[in-house]
Structure 1
Amino acid sequence: MSPLDLKLLRDLWRIKGQAVAIGLVLAVGVLMLVMMTGLVASLDETRRAYYERHRFAEVFAPVTRAPERLVDDLAAIPGVASVEGRVTGHALVDIVARDLPVQAQAVSLPDYREPRLNDVYLTDGRKLDSRREDEILLLRSFALAHSLQPGDTLSATMNGARRSFRIVGLAQSPEFLYTTAPGELVPDDSRFGVIWMSRTALEAAYDMDGAFNEALLSLGRDADKAAIINAVDRILEPYGGLGAYGREDQTSNRFISEEITGLRASSTGVPPVFLAVAAFLLYIVVSRMVQAERNQIGLLKAFGYTDLEVGCHYFKLILAISLGGALAGCLMGVASGRAMTGLYVEYYKFPFLVFRVNPSSFVMGFAVSVLTASVGGLVVLRRVFVLTPATAMRPPVPPDYSRTRRIGRALNSVLDQPSRMVLRRVTRHAGRMAGAILGIAAGMALSVSMISIMSSFDHTVDLSFSVVDRSDVTVTFNEAMSNKVVLELRRMPGVIEVEPVRNVSVVMRNGVKTHRGAVNGLVPSARLYRALDSDSSTIEMRKDGMILAQSLANILDIQPGELLTVEVREGRRPTLTVPVAGVAQTLLGSPAYMDLETLNQVLREPNRVSGAYLRIDAVRSSEIYRKLKNMPSVAGVSLKEDGRAAFQRIIDSGAGAIRYVMALIAAVITFGIVYNAASIAYAERARDLASLRVIGFTKGETAFVLLGELALVTFLALPIGAMLGYWLTFVVAKGFSTDLYQIPATLDLKCYGEAAMSVVAAAMVSGWLVKRDMDRADLISALKTRE
């Protein structure tokens, strides 16, 4: 091993604390890069393979009732590869241990063949025997939530009639990776299931003999999807077509796509932040080292080492730290990705999900890590090349501090000697101190943003389920009913308050911007479910227009006062032009609101409701649930507390769980920055501090000179970090928001206090570690160091 390599090992051991801290910062950036790119690749590849293997449809066409012969007409559309007609319907499952009915979707499977599209993946049991109309397959996640297995029996109400079935198998499907009950956004395995039955049995249950109410289509490679959807709508319109739509608007696929898109954006935006901080830290460490080792550089060159050999020596130091950080980041990224995979398998119902990282991710991690570190180090290495042996072996020219004399005299009467030493250090090395302040401020900003995001998730839950929705129970009907059903609900013992609602499926268009969703008709002065403005005040429903959620207004790129085209997808299917009357602040989904009476008028269906919000007496809840279960018009009953618990599970898994990872990362970054600032300050002042000890300063007084500098720098960094954190919170909140939920940028003083405490704690720990090194230092060796 060459002498320079031996020196490299000694240098690494001497600055091991700083090297580990910088390596951890680099490792964090590489970890996020490897983990996120791996999750994106794994989710995307698994989804593609699952869709392809089970022939997931590319176009869905719901219809009221269409004769079977139309399947051939649909197949004849240019660009259509295959068509499958099927029967679907809503069902209420009777779970013995629950008073509340559980919603389910019934789906038909062909009697004597495999389905052309949307095949199921059988996980347990066997396939259906078409000769037995009482056999069903059950969605696996629903079965596990209720401890059901093949061989068990199940009762369900379909089309107003209660039937008993025997479970012969458990299944999964690419169509139900993300499962939600109709009218809800939050999935809950225990509150929504899927039942697969033979086509003959389901036709009989829903009076659909020789007909279908949904067509599935797959397309050729160069097919024009928009033209095909228009052709499908023309064919199905006379039979009550509800509007065909592409796979991108299918609920399950849409949420998975949103998740992948968010992860992909994070994988390109988050790692550079940590890598940039690491480059800055390396720049400071190597620049201080070169400055401190001027004499050694001169000696090396005097003994015949070339500029390139000496420069490569210091560059090897940079490479050692960056490669170590990259390797640790890759290993931790794989471990973190595998841990997150388990959450995604539970969150999205993939039959399998293996975390797999492309080799390019590792190559990119190492390349970016080394490149980032090199940018910070190469700027410093230029000084090595310009130093001649004679210049390097002479002490540098002392800086001129004569202009600070007046300031020093003014402070003599106010501060004691150690305090003046601290202040002189800060003022005379303003550039270095500014770098340390900005580094600690960056750590403070990361802590502020992540603690704020943690609080914002909780705020989203509280606002959505305590302020917006103040009901106890939501009742959904099979179809739009006469508002007389509201009177029937009010007469139930234990029902305190009833508030009707009407939900209408629509497609909203503003130029080329479109959104498939629903319009919610609310009563004036709503109390149980409200539209709120940015101040959390109730927005009164207006008869002259529609209220859009802010997220929906952003999707459609529309402002209050502008006209919106609304294509209704049920009933007479009118096309309306409605002015936007206002914007609501809602954090769940992207709803649109109208006055209930006005909505019924424009649809020419007066006095109709499709659901109701109830406030009930908890003592009589079981009695109310049993009565609702026995009402044939009820399609589903949802408890707000169940929805709240399900939403909490959602934000604690999937993309929401990454906030915990990033909060931990912010803590690591903050400590790494503060510790480096303290270690570098000590390395620069080792000789000065040893001199103070020799002339009579105690260990405590000497430590005050150094740690006072750290305390002052930390104190100055806190307000700057708070301001940076304010802006960073908005950026991170936008990155975490999805179509399912929006995360507001909650700016609570408590978050700033907790972030400041974390920075102060990091400074105290760093100060203790540095003071320990000071107490162990060899004074004679330190005093032999040349200025």
Structure 2
Amino acid sequence: MNALQLKLGRELAQMKGQIAAIATVLAIGIAMWVMSISNYQSLSRTQARFYAEYDFGHVFTQLTRAPQTLLPAIAAIPGVARVHARISAEARLQVDGYADSVTARIVSLPMQSQDLAGRLFLRSGAFPQQDDEVLLIEAFADAHDLRRGDQLYAVINGRQQRLQVAGIVLSPEFIYPIRPGDVFPDFARYGVLWMRHEPLARAFDMFGAFNDLSLSLQREARSEDVIEQLDRLLDNYGNVGAHGRELQVSDRFLSDELQQLQVMARLFGGIFLGVAAFLLNIVLARMLQSQRELIGLLKAFGYRGLELARHYGGFALAIAVAGALPGLLLGAWMGSGLARLYAEFYRFPYLDWQLSPGLIWQALLFALLTAATGAAAAVYRCYRLPPAEAMRPEPPPRYHRSVLESPRLLHWLDLRARMILRTLVRRPWRSALSVFGIGLAAGILIMSRFQAAAVEHMVNVQFGLAQRDDLSIILSHPRTLRFAEELATLPGVMAVEVGRTVPVKLRNGHRQWQGALTGLPASGQLRRVLNNELQPINPPEHGLLLTGFLAASLALRVGDEVEVEVLDGARQRLRLPLAGTVDEYLGVSAYSERNALNRWLGEDALGNRAWVALAEAQRGDLLEALRARPVIASISDRQAMVSSFRRTLAEGILTFTLIASLMAASVAIGVVYNAARITLAERGRELASLRVLGYTRQEVRALLQGELLSLSLLALLPGIAIGYALCAWIVFNFQSELYRIPLLTTPAAYGLSGLIVLSATAASMVLVRRRLDGMDLIEALKARD
């Protein structure tokens, strides 16, 4: 080893504490990047493989009834590779030992037996051979512990039938099985069943016909062109409008999850790598400042600037290696654990998680870029520093009294506080950077708490202020409003409100949205819409109310006209003004007044939706009475929706909060500890002089601790601003049709953030206390400033 290598080894050993702090922050950044990107790649690979192997369609549509003789014309549409026509319908189930209402979607199996294995993944059991045998989606089967040979009862088109479970399957179309109208899944109360084509056609009188269509396209085909021609072919058959994968619920949820993984990877990876670069820059700048004369001597003895630049660059490289390798291992461990959570939630037949070589190289490259960014300025100064100037002592800085050192202010401070104040204000850049680093840690903590508070607010607004019903009932077809009187006579019913829902397509120029238009009763109390101040408003009689996100996506403002194409019945085309916007966090919707909607449709007073308030003690009796009415297609329980919402998000939110809190605390410790070590190195002679002059260890320790505590207290206010900005960034990037997170921060989040930062400061003080107490006074006094 040459002299510079020996010098580098000694310096790494002497500064192992600071190196460990920087390497820890760097390792956390690498780990977050590896965890998020590895799961993104894993889900993407698994999704693509599952879709390809089991022929997940590209275009979907539902209709009232179309003859199978239409299938050759559909297959002849340019770009169509395969056509999958089937019968699909909603049914109600009764599972032994389960009292709540259960809704299911029953789908007919392909008539050709060889197509079964190409469309469904058989987890256990066998494909149906008898008319009363069915296949169950795995999530529903697991929720009720159903296995091959078990029995359940279904009300199919008003007739109760006994069904026997033949097998448990997975489908790319129902990776995320969710009941129509819901936002989150409820595996116990909603399932998907597959039945042989003949018995389902017999139940719905659909021989030689179909009402559900899935198309697989050729590689070069454009789904928009296929959808346009398909809608024209099916226009007279009750077609509700074809759509691509982007509107398929299961695929949309999975795609949003993939997008969020990318967002979190960019956010946390960038934050932690930036902090590591910042700490490395401070450490190297201090090292070069203290070794200024040594650099001059080395250059005078013949060492070139490039050799010395490589020497100090090697210091940064050693830190990069020390952080990258543990970061890769930690990221792989967290990534595999998160993959197991995804495997339980998203029902894939397999989850192909692996740490790809490309991702490893990306992580190493990020570590090197972080080291290069942090070391670049210091290494460049070392390279450019002339030997004669380096060997000359650095001129002392010129100090002047700042505004904060005015006599009026200093009059209120004791001597120790004055010393701390002067130390901070006379090194403004270093103090500002330390404050920013600690504030960044506080901001991350605020952001982590924001997620939990935002979810709780979403629950309170959506299921406390807007949806106040206990049960939401959907009818199989519209009925006169007299059915509300029938519902009111059932046991436990305290109030009933009736609405009307029709499928529509809204257009504004080239922008369009396909969904449902819901007619609400005037002055309703069970299902309300809220304005931006979360106050209930009455549905308009002469226009539409749209959720704010939907109005923005259609580029509509209040007063603008929107084209409404009804996708049911007489398929009217209307032009209606936008009367206002409503504030909803879950899903996107369009609303009007119920009687006005019926008037636009040219119909009598009809309804196909009901909201019910019930006496909790009679819930079981009411559900039993509702199950006996064939006209009821599905029943949604508000309590179950809240539980599903919490269960779906709680585990991820709590895991995220814990990880982010621990990592932010590590950033705070790293920044404060490095600030303490640098301060101790710079002021060693000063502190030793104070000891010699008679100051006790406690008094000298209080000066250093007071400086660190001042930095942390000064960082709290910028931390609040940084935390709010990070929360706003998440809100902006997580907006989708499925849900929007409100920008909501709480005093508890700020308080907890400050408490953790101050605790991290206390931990850093403990770490440097031993070094401060064990200072060699003679050596410190010999050192040159």
Matched letter for residue 477 of structure 1: L
- The 5 Å alignment of 1:328-407 reads 328-401=326-399, 403=401, 407=405
After TM superposition, list the pairs within 5 Å mapping 1:521-560 onto structure 2: 521-560=519-558
Which residue number in structure 2 is paired with residue 55 of structure 1? Answer: 55
Q: Does the residue aligned with 2:768 lie in a helix, a strand or coil?
A: helix
Q: Please state if 1:668 is matched with 2:666.
A: yes
CA apart distance, 1:535 = 1.5
Structure 1 residues 667 and 599 mapped into 2: Cα distance closer, same or farther (>3 Å)? farther
Encode CA deviations 1:569-608: one digit per residue, 9 max, x unaligned.
2222222222111111101111121111111111222222
Cα distance in 2 for residues equivalent to 1:92 and 1:25: 54
Among 196, 199, 204, which residue is 2:197 paired with? 199
* Aligned with 2:719 (options 718, 721, 732): 721
Residues 1:34 and 2:53 are matched in the alignment: no
**TM-score normalised per structure 1:** 0.96
Change (3 A) 1:418 1:72: same
Taking a change above 3 Å as real, the CA distance of residues 573 and 416 of structure 1, as seen in their structure-2 partners, is same
1:212-611 pair list within 5 angstroms? 212-401=210-399, 403=401, 407=405, 413-611=411-609
Q: 1:409 to 1:165 in 2, by over 3 A?
A: closer
2:15 matches 1:12: no
Unaligned ranges ≥5, structure 1: none
Greater alpha carbon shift after TM alignment, 92-101 vs 137-146: 92-101
Structure 1 counterpart SS, 2:516: strand
Deviation at 1:319, TM superposition (A): 0.8
Tell me how far apart the structure 1 counterparts of residues 578 and 651 of structure 2 sit (CA, whole Å).
36
> Compared with structure 1, are the counterparts of its residues 508 and 86 closer, same or farther at alpha carbon in structure 2 (3 Å cutoff)?
same
Amino acid paired to 2:615: D
Give the deviation of 1:112 after TM superposition: 4.0
Q: Percent identity?
A: 38
SS in 2 for 1:492: coil
Question: Amino acid of the residue matched to residue 738 of structure 2?
Answer: L
Equivalence for 1:89: 89
CA contact (8 A) 2:139 2:347 kept: yes
Say how many residue pairs are matched: 785
Change (3 A) 1:232 1:386: closer
Is residue 125–residue 170 contact of structure 1 (8 Å, CA) maintained in 2? yes
Cα deviation 1:326-354 (Å, max 9, x = unaligned): 22222222222111112222222111112
The answer (yes or no) to whether the contact 2:503–2:516 under 8 Å persists in 1 is yes
> Hey, what's the Cα distance between the residues in 2 that align with 1:43 and 1:437?
39
Shift of 1:433: 1.3
**Counterpart of 2:14 in structure 1: which amino acid?**
R
Residue 513 of structure 1: how far off its partner (Å): 1.7
Contact residue 117 and residue 218 of structure 1 kept, 8 A:
no
In the TM superposition, residue 657 of structure 1 has moved relative to its aligned partner by 5.1
Counterpart secondary structure, 2:347: coil
| C-alpha distance in structure 1 between counterparts of 2:356 and 2:654, whole Å | 24
Contact 2:438/2:667 (CA < 8 Å) preserved in 1?
no
Q: Hey, what does 1:189 align to over in structure 2?
A: 187
1:370-427 CA distance string (max 9 Å, x none) = 1122122110122222434454344321122255699476666543322221122112
Residue identity matched to 1:250 = Q
Q: Distance in 2 between matches of 1:461 and 1:69?
A: 48
Deviation at 1:515, TM superposition (A): 1.7
Letter of the structure 2 residue corresponding to residue 106 of structure 1? I
For residues 418-439 of structure 1, give each alpha carbon's deviation from its aligned partner in whole angstroms, at most 9, with x where no partner exists.
2221122112212221221222
Amino acid in the other structure paired with 2:95: I
Further displaced range: 81-90 or 682-691? 682-691
Distance 1:473 1:446, change over 3 A: same
TM-superposed deviation, 1:733: 2.4
Pick closer, same or farther for the CA change 1:440–1:623 going to 2, 3 Å.
same
CA distance in 2, matches of 1:516, 1:346: 31
- Kept after mapping to 2: 8 A contact 1:443/1:673: no
Separation in 1 of the partners of 2:324 and 2:368?
Answer: 8
Q: What's the CA shift string for 1:169-225, capped at 9, x where partnerless?
A: 100100101111122121111111111111111111222122111122222233242
**Aligned counterparts of 1:681 and 1:297: Cα–Cα separation in 2:** 22
Q: Distance in 1 between matches of 2:431 and 2:664?
A: 22
User: What amino acid maps onto 1:474 in structure 2?
Assistant: S
Structure-1 residue corresponding to 2:731: 733
Contact 2:420 2:707 in 1 (8 A): yes
Q: Secondary structure at the match of 2:514?
A: strand
For residue 690 of structure 1, what is the aligned residue in structure 2?
A: 688
Are the equivalent residues in 2 in contact too, given 1:37–1:357 (CA < 8 A)? no
Mapped partners of 2:421, 2:624: distance in 1: 76
Q: Tell me, what secondary structure is at the counterpart of 1:488? A: helix
**Structure 1 consecutive aligned stretches of length 4 or more whose deviation exceeds 6 Å:** none
Match of 1:70 in 2: 70
Where do residues 622-641 of structure 1 align in structure 2 (5 Å cutoff)? 622-641=620-639
CA contact (8 A) 1:447 1:670 kept: no
Letter of the 2:585 counterpart: L
Q: Against the structure 1 CA distance between its residues 650 and 402, is the aligned structure 2 distance closer, same or farther, given a 3 Å change threshold?
A: closer
Q: Deviations over 1:66-95 (max 9, x none)?
A: 122111221122222221221111111101
Q: Distance in 1 between matches of 2:225 and 2:427?
A: 69
1:399 partner amino acid: P
Do residues 115 (structure 1) and 115 (structure 2) align? Answer: yes
Tell me, yes or no, if the aligned pair for 1:671 and 1:763 is still in contact at 8 Å.
Answer: yes
Specify the code of the residue in structure 1 equivalent to 2:482: K
Q: Tell which deviates more after alignment, 14-23 or 412-421.
A: 412-421
* Superposed displacement of residue 682, structure 1: 1.8
Q: Is the 8 A contact 2:521 2:594 kept in 1?
A: yes
AA matched with 1:256: L
- Closer/same/farther in 2, CA of residues 412 and 91 from structure 1, 3 Å limit: closer
Counterpart code for 2:595? E
CA distance in 2, matches of 1:257, 1:182: 19
Aligned residue for 1:379, secondary structure, equals helix
Amino acid at match of 2:194: W
Residues in 2 aligned to 1:592 and 1:675: alpha-carbon distance in whole angstroms: 55
Q: Structure 2 vs 1, CA of residues 660 and 744 (structure 1 numbering), >3 Å: closer, same or farther?
A: farther
Measured in 2, the distance between the counterparts of 1:76 and 1:387 equals: 76
Unaligned runs of 5+ in 2: none
Paired amino acid for 1:282: L
CA apart distance, 1:501: 2.0
Cα separation, 2, equivalents of 1:654 and 1:730 = 20
> What is the match of residue 164 of structure 2?
166
Q: Is the 8 A contact 1:118 1:174 kept in 2?
A: no
Q: CA RMSD in A?
A: 2.1
Residues 419, 501 of structure 1: alpha-carbon distance in 2 compared, 3 angstrom cutoff: same
Give per-residue Cα distances to partners, 1:640-686, cap 9 Å, x unaligned: 11111111122135688545433433333233222222222222212
Match of 1:134 in 2: 132
> Cα distance 1:654–1:117, how it changes in 2: closer, same or farther (>3 A)?
farther
Q: What is the TM-score with the length of structure 2 in the denominator?
A: 0.96
